[in-house]
Amino acid sequence: MSKFTSSIYDLVKGIRAFKELASEFKELYPEVSSIISSFSNKSSVTADDIRKAISFAVNKIMNDPYIVLGVRKDDPPELVEAVYKLKAKFYHPDNSRTGNKDKFIAVKEAYNKIKSGV
């Protein structure tokens, strides 16, 4: 397989993977669904279009506090708090084995958003 054929194959594979991912989240993120629809209306989709769409979707998904904490919107507050405490302890910067300041801050911010109802 030539480099060109391999690149085209990877691009098509990426489009399919992105469409599958987007379909799972289209109820949560209508913007992702509109990006996918715009692909169908185009005669050709460039790698830059795909890169922008994937970047947009990943940012949307990773900024969702429920996804960051790993809980569902209909989970009881007690469970959300328990998951928060476990993750906060796991990622706490003072934890020498698993400490990760960035993830600790992300978990803390996600919990605060959920708790405040934002």
CATH number of this structure's domain 66-116: 1.10.287
pLDDT for 61 equals 73
Residues 99, 92: contact at Cβ < 8 Å?
yes
Show me where the domains of the chain are located: 3-62, 66-116
Residue 83: name the closest of 114, 117, 60 by CA: 114
**Residue for token digits 């799972």?**
24
**Residue for token digits 């959300």?**
80
**Residue for token digits 């960035």?**
102
Global confidence as pTM: 0.57
pLDDT for 27 equals 59
Longest CA span, the chain? 55
- Provide the residue-wise pLDDT of the chain in tens; the chain has 118 residues: 555 555 666 666 766 666 666 555 565 566 666 666 666 666 666 777 777 777 777 777 778 898 888 898 888 999 999 999 999 999 999 988 888 899 999 999 999 999 998 5
